[in-house]
Structure 1
Amino acid sequence: MMQITPEQLTLFAATLAVAILSPGPGVIAVSQSAFAMGRQRALPYGWGLAFGASLWCLGALLGLTVVFRILPWTFTVMKFIGGLYLLWVAHKMWRGAPEPLPDPAEAQLGMNFRGGMTLNLSNPKPALFYSAVLLSIFPVTLSLADKGVIYLTAVSLELSFYTALSCLMALPLLRRRYYAAKFWIDRIAASAIGLLGLSLILRH
């Protein structure tokens, strides 16, 4: 039996939408992918990012954050590994900046579904965000049906956002701008992702 109300679900969706819009490594990476390789290559990457992000919601629903609270070192280890992965992605972007445009038929920097999922799973902080939002909006005890509806709402929003972003950033006008300034755009994107990786490692 469903315990959550339409009003609670609407509030959850609105809160999540605001959070998704805040720039993060996924937004930067899928934008750069769409610029460089177009919509056809960027969409699977964006969908991987969306699915990866939604898995943190599923983790929160299944009690992953309880594990983080009981064993704080697990969260620290995950942050460290995730930060190193973001630094590696930044390094590859930085080194690739002077190179010619990639062949759209080839996946670059792991820019495929699996690569997108890995990137968004590299940052465990969304699990804490989802946990805080779920606890503040919904009843403490949720049925399996409630959890299913909440997860489907989250994954739908994530998919909608990354699909729209991939299509928008692949527009011909934006891609032409990217072609004219590829070196600096790639270097800025690499710096932003690198700083996010360092922040993930160093921030307590």
Structure 2
Amino acid sequence: MTITADQLALFVGTLAVAILSPGPGVIAVSQAAFALGRRRALPYALGLALGASLWCLLALLGLTVVFRALPWTYVALKVLGGAYLVWIAWKTWRHAPDPLPDPAEGSRGMSFAGGMMLNLSNPKPALFYSAVLLSIFPVALTAGDKVAIYATAAGVELAFYGALASLMALPWLRRRYYAAKFWIDRGAGLAIGLLGLSLILRH
């Protein structure tokens, strides 16, 4: 391998700071943990983590080169992804008055596939990963380097989303959610909707 342990450590630190910024995935996995509990929320968190890490893999494989060569592909992905987030937001807003779901059953796309779809709906992480990769690692990466970088990114994403799902499923946090479900769901729907609109409208 041509990359060093120090470079990987810097990559982990940069990625950790970035994923702590509240985004649709953070909001969605928190709500899933509140409503469904840890056991049902973990598959959703796993899907979110792998969906996010796939953008790192695609950046390593040169997706951002395609975006730069054919800018319309990035615009199209942004519009489609933003529309998907707005749709998720509308469903969350509309179902806010509904009773709590049965924790033994799935709920409104809160599954492994639903988590992957949510984080794949935003192509901006591909550009983020590309910029970080270029700034930290050598330009010429071997296949082994790419495997190590992707495994590191996937590990950080999995650790973050798994920890978040477990934390937000703590009994005292769930009790607070039960007491204010309507307003929390409406707030989550509004936040995700605004993120979707900003993805569509921002250049």
TM-score, length of structure 2 as denominator length: 0.99
Q: Which whole-Å CA distance do the structure 1 matches of 2:151 and 2:202 have between them?
A: 31
Number of the residue aligned with 2:199: 200
Q: Which whole-Å CA distance do the structure 2 matches of 1:139 and 1:133 have between them?
A: 11
Q: Which whole-Å CA distance do the structure 1 matches of 2:183 and 2:154 have between them?
A: 33
| 1:18-73 deviation per Cα after TM superposition (whole angstroms, max 9, x unaligned) | 00111000000000000001001100000000000000000000000000000000
Paired residues, number: 203
Q: Does 1:117 align with 2:119?
A: no
How far 1:109 moved relative to its partner?
1.8
Q: Which runs of 5+ in 1 are unaligned?
A: none
Number of the residue aligned with 1:47: 46
Q: Which whole-Å CA distance do the structure 2 matches of 1:178 and 1:28 have between them?
A: 13
Number of the residue aligned with 1:74: 73
Q: Secondary structure at the match of 1:100?
A: coil
Greater than 2 Å deviation, 4+ residue runs: none
Number of the residue aligned with 1:165: 164
Q: Which whole-Å CA distance do the structure 1 matches of 2:22 and 2:40 have between them?
A: 21
| 1:107-156 deviation per Cα after TM superposition (whole angstroms, max 9, x unaligned) | 11210000000000000000000000000000001000000000000000
Amino acid at match of 1:200: L
| Contact 1:52/1:120, CA 8 A, preserved across alignment | yes
How far 1:103 moved relative to its partner?
1.1
Amino acid at match of 2:149: I
Amino acid at match of 1:5: T
Number of the residue aligned with 1:57: 56
Q: Secondary structure at the match of 1:110?
A: coil
Q: Which whole-Å CA distance do the structure 2 matches of 1:102 and 1:143 have between them?
A: 48
| Contact 1:60/1:128, CA 8 A, preserved across alignment | yes
Number of the residue aligned with 1:38: 37
Q: Which whole-Å CA distance do the structure 2 matches of 1:177 and 1:37 have between them?
A: 14
Amino acid at match of 2:163: A
Q: Secondary structure at the match of 2:103?
A: coil
Q: Secondary structure at the match of 2:128?
A: helix
How far 1:90 moved relative to its partner?
0.3
Identity among equivalent positions (%) equals: 75
Q: Secondary structure at the match of 1:22?
A: coil
Amino acid at match of 2:5: P
How far 1:190 moved relative to its partner?
0.3
Q: Which whole-Å CA distance do the structure 1 matches of 2:44 and 2:189 have between them?
A: 17
Q: Which whole-Å CA distance do the structure 1 matches of 2:158 and 2:33 have between them?
A: 15
Q: Which whole-Å CA distance do the structure 1 matches of 2:66 and 2:107 have between them?
A: 35
Q: Which whole-Å CA distance do the structure 2 matches of 1:64 and 1:30 have between them?
A: 27
TM-score, length of structure 1 as denominator length: 0.99
Q: Which whole-Å CA distance do the structure 2 matches of 1:155 and 1:88 have between them?
A: 27
Amino acid at match of 1:191: L
| Contact 1:89/1:109, CA 8 A, preserved across alignment | no
Q: Secondary structure at the match of 1:140?
A: coil
Number of the residue aligned with 1:92: 91
Q: Does 1:179 align with 2:178?
A: yes
